Structure formats: structure tokens, C-alpha cells
Structure 1
Amino acid sequence: MTILVTGATGNVGRQVVSRLVRAGRTVRAMTRRPQTGLLPHGVEVVQGDFERPDTWRAALDGAQSVYLFPFVYGAADNGFLDEAVKTGVTRFVVHSAAAAGFPPGTGGDGVLGRHLTEEREAHRGLELLVEATGAEWTHVRPGLLAVNALRWAHRIRTERVVREPYAGAGYPVVHEADVADVAVAALLTDDHIGAAQTVTGPAKVSQAEQVAAIGAAIGTQVRFEEIDPAEARTQWLRDGYDEETADWMIALLADAVDGTGALPPTDTCLRVTGRPPRTFAQWANDHAADFRPEVTR
């Protein structure tokens, strides 16, 4: 049985591919730029693009299960899904998002609420399209990924400092390997058919705690410098973020100063894999090379 992994060179997709290979499964990896993928030996790598129907047949031929990257924002086009079912796919494991399970109105009626509504409608819309195919399905809904901390990598490498608002803000961020473990369980067993699994880390980790963990992982003290939200917004715009993104990022942090806002920790990883989710400290150790100075990398 061939398992097609779409988004195969992404943070989670690579991990899914590696785990399936270790399990002895036949894996086909679909990516828009095959030459950029660092995937395990023996994986069939095919060029495929959700926006290019002419590439779908080669990717889907002979596949029975698909790990489905969220290819459409707004879930308006189900052409790829139709083709997949037509060619024999009987199971989809959807890489969705925790927001797909949020009730309407989560985050209020300001910039954060609007962002979460867009996220919920986009990812839940795709989930509904998959459910309508009649194939088996599981929705894997990761919360905020720990890899978002990589946006600090350049400043940590060059300045040993992170400047952000709301030092105490944080969520139970999830290691991409845990998301992959849950996805692979859904691909390889029948235990999760028809389930929506929200995957988080074990506990809230504040921004200041994340920075400290990264410093410990690289053996160097990294300073967290708390700045005013307005100053942060200016910095993010200078870094290339658009105004809307900068605004909801600030609101997202403000929402999780005294708690975890809309995203409390879940026990999904323990229930599905039999072990607790990886900590942020483990993630930092796994990614230490991303934060070390260029001269020692």
C-alpha cells in the first residue's frame, strides 16, 4: 500500500515521511520543488502542486492513503480530493489546525477574533470537504507549533537577545514530531477513523521561558528584553510582516499572559501514542543548531 504525503518537505511532513519509512511502509512524497527536499532514502519523490491538476495523477496513482496538507485557504476547491477518490484513495489524514474546533466568537470581535474566525472557517471548511468524499478520515489539529520560535533564530545567533512584548505570554506549543506521531497513528491504524485530534504541548511555556530553554540548549545565556507592543509592532513591520499580521500577533500574545487563552493543553499525544508530549526544552535541544552562531554551526 502506497501512502502519499503531501507537504512532504514541511516541518511536519518530513517527520511523517521519516516515521512511515521506519515503519516499513511504501511512501510517496509530493512536493512542489523535489530538488529542495531532504527525505530518507527509498522514498519516491514526485513533483506535485495543488494548483496544477496535471501533476495530480502521478502523485496519486496507486495511493490508498493521503496525509493531506491544508492546500486551500477557504476550502473552495475540492478537485484534488475528487481526483484522489477516483484513483483509489480510501483514507485521508488531514493536517488541520486547533482553530477548526473553536466555537464561533472565540477571541472576541476584535483583530484576534477575526483572525481565529478566518482560521476556523478555512480549516474546518477543508475538513468538511474531506468528510464529504465518503472516504475514511482523521483530522489532526495542531495548536501553535514550537517551530514558530525559529523566527528568533537570527537575532539569537547574532545578538543573543530576543525583544518581544509580553514576556509572560505563552501557549502549550507543540513539537512537530508529536504532530507527526499522531498523524502516523491515524495513517497506520483504524483506531482514529472519524476523530478530530487537537494536539498541543504538555503545558504553557512563556516567551521568556522559551528563550531561556533555547539558551540552555546552545549553552549560552540568551536575554529576553520585554518591549512595548507598539515598539514590537514597528519592529515586525520592519522585519517584513504586514500590518494585519502584526496586529493579531500582538493580540494573540496579550490573550495568553495570565493563562493560555483559547488553547489549553490537551491529552491527545498521551492518549494516541501512550507517552506524554515532548517539552519545549526537548524541542530546543532538537533545534539547537538553528540558534548557534554561524561560526560554530
Structure 2
Amino acid sequence: MLDATRSAGPRRRSSILVTGAAGNLGREVVDRLRAHGAHVRSFVRRHRTGPRPGAESVVGDLTDPAVVRDALVGIDAVFLIWPLLDSAPAHDLVAELVRAAPRVVYLSTTAIDDEAARQSDPIVQVHADMEALLLDAGLRPVVLRSDTLASNARGWASQVRAGDVVSGPRVARTAVVDERDVADAAAAVLLAQRDRLDRDLYALTGPEVLSRADQVAHLGAALRRPLRFQALPADLARSQMLADGRPEPLVEALIAASMRRPDSTRTTDHVERLTGRPAATFARWAVDHAAEFS
């Protein structure tokens, strides 16, 4: 387990900027950092609710250099989630990071193929481009390549409430990882001294490789219902996602991912290496979140 509190002497309170702080993962990271006594500044695009007690936040866009510059004042480390499907608008952000010189922990994806000249789909490509951009700028980021987050299953909630069939595009089998484990790992890295880390890149996975059908079956078991997954052809899946209100560029990227991204067979012990306990199963996540689907 990475001991984030061990040091050669007294340390001042860490000040950490968390981007994407209103999302499923970002909220978990903020909670863990605050529980460890860090000063946390949340970067959000808009306030969805009123400010959380004791929380400091910056509202704005990561592509706005002035907002980023102000957000970085007094910051020791940044947890970076890049929200766009294009890395080009990140150049100004990276310039501000170079100027402020915080430690950077970047959330990437395990789907990156380091041997490929081009990645399988736009979502993976933008992560590969962001990793390269940060490295080329000399920032020496710690990269957390996460597998599919279990919290993505929340997108099925309306279908589960309406019936026993969850439909969508067929996607690659992956070692689905609980976002709470990713948050624990991220907090450990953000709070640790850089020389306490044994690598610059961690691959965070769950303990088993699952298909969409496997995930839906686990969710059904948690709900005690006979749920099943129905794979849709690309055209039908596209129409469904557009009707749900998803932006067209994201829908096209998701369709490309469903058609091109290969199945994964990889699991790692990196969650345990950073947190001191094995990664949780998706079945456990389904039990813990069953009420959200009822």
C-alpha cells in the first residue's frame, strides 16, 4: 500500500485542484482528499447544486486560460480529467500548468495501445494525445489509466425502471473498475510525495473481465430481477443515444468505439498496490447501488 502520509518531516497541508469535480468520479476524489485533510479546490463547468459545505470551487471552462490561471493559484497538485474529444484546445491549459508547475495526475484509459500509431477510436485517441501533450511539455504527469468505470452503468437506470431489457451497442469486454477504487487510488497518488511512487503510469482495473451482458446480469441479481442485455446494431444504437439527448460528436465516438475497440483480457493489481486492498467486483458495486435502479 502506498503510504501517502509518510514523510521525512512535517508537511504543510496539500492544496489540490480537482477538475471534473461534479462528475461520478470527481465527486469521489474530492470526498477522499477532504477526508485526508487536504485543501481541495473543485473545478466545475457549472454549479448543479449549491456549494458544498467547506468546499471551494471554481466555475468555468478548462479551455479558458484566464479561469485556469486563477484556479491554479496556490495549488500543489492537479487531478486532470480532460472533457473534450479533441486535445487541441488543451494547449493553453498545458501552458498554464507549465507556468504554475503543480504536480499533475491525469486520468486516462487502459484502452491505449502503446504500440499503435493511431488508436482504435476517438475516445482512446484523445487520451493518448493528452498523455503525449503533457509529457512533451515536461510536466512528468502521473498517469492513471482507468478501465471502464462501473458508474457508467447508471446510464441504464431508466431502461431498468421501464422493463427487464437493457439495450445498447455491443462494446468491448473490459475489467470494469469501481469508481470508488479509482478515487482511492487517485487520492493516494495526489497525497503522496513523488519519490514515494514506484512508477509514472498505473493501470487501474477491476478483478474480472466483463461483457455488457455480464454487467446487466450482475445488476439483475442485485435487484432480484431477470435483466438481460440486448445488443443493438450501430444505426439503432446511434438513434437511441441521440434520442436520449447525447451530443452527436459523443454519440459518433461511442459508436466508433463499439465497432473498433478490441476486447480486453487484462487485469492488474495496481488498485491494491496503491490502496492496500483488492479492487472490488462489479457485483459488489451493483448491490451497493441497487436503489438507484429501483
| TM-score interval for Structure 1 and Structure 2 normalised by the shorter chain | 0.7 to 0.9
Q: Is the 8 A contact 1:214 1:281 kept in 2?
A: yes
Shift of 1:285: 2.3
Shift of 1:211: 1.7
- For 2:16, the equivalent position in structure 1 comes to 3
Shift of 1:114: 4.0
- CA distance, structure 1, for counterparts of residue 254 and residue 183 of structure 2: 29
Alignment of 1:179-258 (within 5 A): 179-189=182-192, 190=194, 191-192=196-197, 195-218=200-223, 220-224=224-228, 226=230, 229-230=232-233, 233-240=235-242, 244-245=252-253, 247-251=255-259, 255=262
Q: Which sits farther off after the overlay, 46-55 or 14-23? A: 46-55
Q: Once superposed, what is the RMSD of the aligned Cα atoms? A: 2.8
Secondary structure in structure 1 of the residue aligned to 2:185: helix
- CA distance, structure 2, for counterparts of residue 177 and residue 39 of structure 1: 22
Alignment of 1:59-208 (within 5 A): 59-71=71-83, 73-76=85-88, 77-87=90-100, 89-104=101-116, 114-115=120-121, 118-163=122-167, 170-189=173-192, 190=194, 191-192=196-197, 195-208=200-213
Shift in CA distance, 268/140, structure 1 to aligned 2, threshold 3 Å:
same
Aligned residue pair count: 272
Q: Is the 8 A contact 2:134 2:141 kept in 1?
A: yes
- For 1:56, the equivalent position in structure 2 comes to 68
Normalised TM-score (structure 1): 0.80
- CA distance, structure 1, for counterparts of residue 63 and residue 94 of structure 2: 13
Shift of 1:29: 0.4
Q: Is the 8 A contact 1:161 1:225 kept in 2?
A: yes
Shift in CA distance, 101/268, structure 1 to aligned 2, threshold 3 Å:
farther
Percent of pairs with identical residues: 35
Give 5+ residue unaligned stretches, structure 2: 1-13
Q: One-letter code of the match for 1:52?
A: D
Shift in CA distance, 149/194, structure 1 to aligned 2, threshold 3 Å:
same
Q: Is the 8 A contact 1:217 1:288 kept in 2?
A: yes
- CA distance, structure 2, for counterparts of residue 28 and residue 55 of structure 1: 13
